Amino acid sequence: MENWKDILYKEIKRLKNTLYSDVRLDEREELKISFEKEVIKSVVQEKSIIGGVRVYKSSGYGFASFSNYGEIRDALKNAVYLADFYRGEKIKFKEMEKVEGDFTYPSRNPPSRFKIQDKFEFIKNCIEEIFENKFIIGISGTYLETKFKRLFTNTEESLILQQREEIIFYMQIFAGKKDLREKYLVYYAGRDFKEFKNSINVQIKKAKDYLSELIKSPRIKTGIYDVVIDPYLAGVFAHEAVGHLSEADIVFKNKSMEKIFYIGRKIGNKLISIVDDGRNVKNLGGYFYDDEGVKPEKVYILKEGEIYGRLHSRESAAIMGENPNGHGKCVQASFPPIVRMSCTYIEPGREDKESLISSLKNGLYIEGNMGGWTEIETFCFYPLRVWKVEKGKIKHPLRQVILKGNVFETLKNIEGISKDFIMQGIDCGKGGQAPLPVSYGGPYLLIKNMKVCGE
Amino acid sequence: MEYEIREVLRGENFFKFRGKELEEARRILKKEKFIRGVKGGKEVFVYGNGSNRELFKRLRKIINYGREVKYISPEPLKIEEEKRERLSELKSLFSRIQEVLEDRKEIEVYFYEILKDVKMKSKNGFEGRYIQKYYKFYILLKGEKNGDLIQIGSGRNSKKFSEFEKSYRKFVREYRKLPGRKGLPYKKNILFILSPLSAFSLFDSLIYRFFKGSDVVQKVSFLFDKLNEKIFNEKICILNDPSDEKLTNSRPFDDEGTLTRKFYLVKDGIIGGFLLNRENANILGIKPNGCAYFLPKMGMMWENYHNIKIKGGKDSIKILEDYILLRDSYFDISPSGEFVITCPLAYIFKRGKKMGYVKSFQISGNVFHILSKNLEFISREKENFGNFVVPFIGFKDVKFI
């Protein structure tokens, strides 16, 4: 990487006469262990170098990628060539401080310190353990370990090297009985190998117990229910339903969004505040500098129910005449940075979990998440575990449901927030760029009138 | 040690316009190489953009961690090389798009040119190469009335853009005249018609969820023991065709070097086959059909379709009188077949005429029911979405949420 520093520093000087330009270079090493049925299906080792050049000359950027030294000049030329297509007014970038430095993300037990054999054996044991449950009919999943260095330089002469290691693991579990099928997800995203092992062991035990009950459980009728959701699902809601709307590129590229998600609009009740804060690098979603050389800032997306701020890259900030706050990120150097979240959470409240559940007369208690999507105001989530609650008491599990609704209506229906608080690492996708490590979290939430699709 | 080397040069030119203004221009060139090595029945992959020597070195290092595999080796094949086109050739197309979009600030156009140059060789003599090149257009209509994503289409060449332009203009003209409605005029027996775009979403989810060999082998798919059984209405025929040059995902061999072939997933309502790579075909005791896809993200050999053709019916959509046309919808299907359709935009038709539109509602049901006993209509007209050719599909008896 030291050689590359000199090369890129020299090459970026060729772009001095452009409005703004930057180059990113990734050196990545990956280990992927995939499994399916009852066996490890493949072991893949990947090592690659990939870079991208972004050039602004007027209203937009030209971007070109390269994968070895011989291609840099071509990529520079291509990016300049594409930047020449623009005809609009020049973007006025806010000048940023020149930054130089090497930064390594903290981890007590980075995965690269452990042998492949340890990882292989651990996954084999997990598979054996999960099939002890007679209802399990199939699994599939991947252990993905990434070690990467990202070098960034720009026409303001910043030169930043960031190094980190991550693990993303997921195991989809299918349980079945006759023609009935149920799905479950075991998931981890983080930087610590020992923490990963502990987390997966706990989750597998939970999965076995829950699926044995679930397969005999009834389906709930589709309808409107009062629900209590756990911090993981609350985090998904903060990230998917509200966080994405606060990404400034979504707002400025969509006129109708300017009328929906504007600063000062009251969209939730006073209890709720949602924050994005990437400053703590111990969190998976935290970082020293974003992929445009800007430090992350704490941003209140929602403060006491009112839209308070939004997340910016340098481009979105320049277009909207606001300040960049360190949210320009790309998943790989072969993509241009776009506005992304870091660590998004709902601030805790004053109540406790038990009092929220005991307030439900005929409702649901819901934990975890297996996926979902949002489309502007509409959201759709697949929770991991659902229980029926009657007269304030948790009764029995219910088969898989889908939660659907309108973000703004749901925010108004949040009537209780617990003081408990949990953050979790997760991966996020946007604009074809995935998996980007982020974090989300929050407290337990009591939500009235949630649309639940079941039978 | 036996091995297969697969090299992919993937080029993607991407342009995004807002009105007539260019908003994003990028050219991404990626070289990828993966080697699958098999030694003493153990299999591993290495992947990256290093030299063959370096990759083999890493392969030898991890080969002992591989698992045992057994499958049929691919047959030898040679494909002639095609010339790669240069970026500058896009210029003329580019200015045409800008002309079309003049004064239309409320829309966005996404334009992709995708080029894939795939080379593959193996120790046992297989050697092949193919080049895929196609364009994709998406038009996003914006404004006060809506913010709905309208996909106009995709094709292998730029001539298609003229057709997209016409259908776009027609759509905007009609849409602006229609009155909106708050509620859906729902009656139990109302006929719901999926537009080809919505039907594409249905069949895409259905095939992905139930026809992948890995899910069949694990019995995760409900269809695992239903080969040659009648599950769907006899009007349903789903053909996987990797050889149609007009469609975007045609290829002579898959990522394991198995020759691809045309086959029915469903013929006259009967399950005719699954998407199979060599390993799962071997487990099921049938021939692989060239559906192996290497997924670099997951690091495993997955299965997927190439080009899907859904057989059309005899009647035209024009004969229908009262129905709700789901213009654009997303399907979420559970492993047991229950689905929820989220529909951002639907049209209300009375006596064959478009009377208004409804936005944002959901319906639920079971996918095997709507394609068997509840299936009411398949149109003669079909639309092409690049690697999917699909008609209008009509059904009754679903639940409105």
Residue A422 has pLDDT above 90, yes or no: yes
Q: What's the predicted TM-score (pTM) here?
A: 0.85
Mutation site, A42, A66, A143, A219, interface B, largest B CB count within 10 A: A42
Q: How far is CA B3 from CA A327, B64, B124, B295, in A?
A: 43, 15, 8, 18
Among candidate residues B280, B338, B303, B278, the one with its CA nearest the CA of residue B207: B303
Cα angle at B66 between B68 and B224, to 5 degrees?
50
Query: Measured between alpha carbons, how far is residue B116 from residues A94, B9, B11, B294 in Å?
Result: 39, 6, 6, 14
Specify the residue for token string 């623009």.
Answer: A86
Which residue is associated with the tokens 């709720």?
Answer: A272
In angstroms, rounded to a whole number, what is the distance separating the alpha carbons of residues A244 and A187?
A: 22
Q: What is the pLDDT along chain B (401 residues), one digit of tens a residue?
A: 778 888 888 888 888 877 777 888 898 888 888 888 877 767 778 877 778 888 888 888 777 766 565 555 555 544 433 333 434 445 555 555 555 555 455 566 777 778 888 888 887 777 888 888 777 776 665 543 444 444 455 554 455 566 666 666 666 666 666 666 556 666 667 899 998 888 998 999 999 989 999 999 988 888 999 999 999 999 999 999 998 888 888 888 898 888 899 999 999 999 999 999 988 898 888 888 999 998 776 667 889 999 999 999 999 999 999 999 987 777 778 777 888 887 777 888 889 988 877 777 778 888 999 999 999 999 999 988 888 999 999 998 777 76
Q: Which of A39, A44, A46 sits opposite B67 (nearest CB)?
A: A39
Does A370 lie at the interface with B, CB-CB under 8 angstroms? Answer: no
* Cβ-based neighbours of B184, under 8 Å, separated by 6 or more: B324, B346, B358, B361, B400
- Estimate the share of chain A in helix, then strand, then coil, as percent rounded to the nearest 5: 25, 45, 30
Q: Beta strands A338-339 and A159-177: pairing type?
A: unpaired
Q: Does A290 lie at the interface with B, CB-CB under 8 angstroms?
A: no
Q: Between β-strands B300-303 and B292-295, what pairing exists: parallel, antiparallel or unpaired?
A: antiparallel
Separation of alpha carbons B259 and B77, rounded Å? 8
- Indicate the DSSP class of residue A109: S
In sequence order, what are the residues at sequence separation of 6 or more whose Cβ sits closer than 8 angstroms to the Cβ of residue B290? B242, B253, B254, B258, B259, B260, B261, B306
What is the identity of the amino acid at A105? Y
Nearest to B401 among A68, A71, A453 (CB): A453
Q: For residue range A277-294, what is the model confidence (pLDDT) as tens digits?
A: 999 999 999 999 999 999
Contact A174, A136 (CB under 8 A): yes
| Chain segment A375-408, per-residue pLDDT in tens | 777 888 999 999 999 999 999 999 988 898 888 9
- Report how many Cβ contacts below 8 Å link chain A to chain B: 199
Q: Does residue A73 belong to the interface with chain B, where contact is any CB pair within 8 Å?
A: no
Contact yes or no for B22 and A378 at CB 8 A: no
Query: For residue A177, how far is the Cα from the chain centroid?
Result: 34
d(CA B38, CA B257): 15
Q: Is residue B93 classed exposed, middle or buried when 0-12, 13-18 and 19+ CB atoms within 10 A define those classes?
A: middle
Q: Tell me, what's the pLDDT at B162?
A: 63
For A229, residues 6+ apart whose C-beta sits below 8 A from its C-beta are A237, A366, A367, A383, A444, A445, A447
- Per-residue confidence (pLDDT) for residue A21, from 0 to 100: 96
Pairwise CA distance, residues B354 & B170, whole Å: 14
- Cβ-defined contact of A63 to B399 (cutoff 8 Å): no
* Strands in B40-177 per DSSP E: 42-48, 67-68, 107-122, 127-141, 149-155
Give the residue from A372, A377, A159, A130 showing the smallest Cα distance to A259. Answer: A377
Cα–Cα dist A378/B295, whole Å: 30
Closest Cβ opposite residue A44 in set B45, B49, B336: B45
Distance (Å, whole) CA B347 – CA B178? 9
Which of B26, B45, B92 best tests the A interface by mutation, with the highest count of A CBs <10 A? B26
The rounded distance, in Å, linking the Cα atoms of B331 and A402 is 12
pLDDT tens-digit readout, A297-309: 999 999 999 999 9
Q: Which residues of B228-240 are buried (b: 16+ CB within 10 A; e: fewer)?
A: eeebbbebbbbbb
